[in-house]
Amino acid sequence: MISAETRFPHRSRSQVPGDMSFGGRHPPLLPCLGLCCRRVAERLTAGGRDGPDGDMSTCTLLSGSHDTMTYCLNKKSPISHEESRLLQLLNKAFPCITRPIVLKWSITQALDVTEQLDAGVRYLDLRIAHMLEGSEKNLHFVHMVYTTALVEDTLTEISEWLERHPREVVILACRNFEGLTEDLHEYLVACIKNIFGDMLCPRGELPTLRQLWSRGQQVIVSYEDESSLGRHCELWPGIPYWWGNTVKTEALLRYLETMKSCGRPGGLFVAGTNLTENLQYVLAHPSESLEKMTLPNLPRLSAWVREQRPGPGSRCTNVIAGDFIGADSFVGDVIALNQKLLWC
C-alpha cells in the first residue's frame, strides 16, 4: 500500500521559491489585484485593525467558485452512485443519451483550477468522492458525475501555485465525501498535510491577513466531517453556504436577501449566486445546459454582487461564489467591493 507520505513528501516553508513576481495573467489577490486592493491591504493590516474585528470574515470580501472542479468532466465520466435509481437505470439502458444530458447539467466551470486562481478566485468548493470502481486510494471530485482529475494531483497543483504566490491565501472547502471510509478520510487528511505542510493555518481564532502573512500560512481547509475534525487540528469546521436551489434569478436574489436579513453566521460564510436546475426545467428545455441557463442571467447577478458590502455588519457579505468564473466581470466586481472598506 502506498502511503500519503510516500506519494507526497512534506513541504516546509523553506522550500518555497524566492520569486515574488506575479506570474499568471493577473497580479495576486487577497487583496492584491490592482492598486486599489493593495491600498485596502495596507489599511487592513495597519496596527489598529489587527484584532478580533479584523479577521477574514469581516475585513475581506472574497470571490469563490461553486463546484470548482467540474471543468474536468467528460462523456466517459461515470455517473455518481448517489444519483437516483431512475437515473442509474436510464444510464444503464441508454448511456449514449443519458450521459451527455447529465454532463451538460453538471458542468459549472470552464476554467481549470490554476486559471481560476489566476483570475482571483480564493474560495474553492471541492466535492470529494471515492468511486467504487476506482483504485483503493484514488480520490476524485464529483458533481452528478465523477471528474477525471484526482484529488491529490489537484491539491498539488494548488500548492505549486501558492508557492509561486507567497502572499496569497486560499480557502479549500472540502465536502460531500461520497464513498469515503474512515481510512480514506485519514488518507485524504494525510495528503493535505503533506502537500501543504507549513502553509496550513491550524484551527483556532479566525486570523487576520497580517497574522497569516507573518506566519507564512496560506491555506485554510474547511472539512465537513466531524470525526476528522476531532482528530486533526489543521482542519476547520464546514463553512455555511447559502444555496438558493432555484432556476429563477429573482427568486435566488430574494433568498440571498432573506438570509442577509437573518444576520450573518459567525466566522466565514458563502453567498452562492449559482442557479440550480430541476427535472421539470430540464425536461422543458432539452436543448439547453447549465451554461446556457446561467450566462443570460449573469448581468442581473453581477448587479446584485456590486451592491454588497464587506465588513462586520449584520447584512454584510464575506465570500461570494458563482458559476462559470471568467465569463463576465464577477471576480473583478467582488474584488472591487473591498474598496468600500476604505470609505469607512
What pLDDT sits at residue 266? Answer: 87
- What does the alpha-carbon distance between residue 56 and residue 168 come to, in Å, rounded to a whole number? 13
Grid cell listed for 165: 504566490
pTM, to two decimals: 0.87
Helix (H, G, I), strand (E, B) or coil at 212: helix
Kindly give the parts of the chain with pLDDT less than 70: 1-54, 343-344
- What does the alpha-carbon distance between residue 118 and residue 28 come to, in Å, rounded to a whole number? 7
- What does the alpha-carbon distance between residue 108 and residue 291 come to, in Å, rounded to a whole number? 7
255: left (phi over 0), alpha (psi -120 to 50) or beta: alpha
What pLDDT sits at residue 3? Answer: 54
Which position has the grid cell 476531532?
Answer: 230
What pLDDT sits at residue 343? Answer: 62
Question: pLDDT tens for residues 102-128?
Answer: 999 999 999 999 999 999 999 999 999
What pLDDT sits at residue 46? Answer: 47
- What does the alpha-carbon distance between residue 108 and residue 101 come to, in Å, rounded to a whole number? 14
Question: pLDDT tens for residues 143-201?
Answer: 999 999 999 999 999 999 999 999 999 999 999 999 999 999 999 999 999 999 999 99
What pLDDT sits at residue 19? Answer: 31
Alpha helices in the chain (DSSP H): 4-7, 35-44, 85-93, 95-104, 113-119, 151-164, 182-196, 209-215, 226-231, 249-261, 279-284, 290-294, 298-306, 330-336
What pLDDT sits at residue 340? Answer: 85
**Closest to 161 measured CA to CA, from 127, 203, 208, 195:** 195
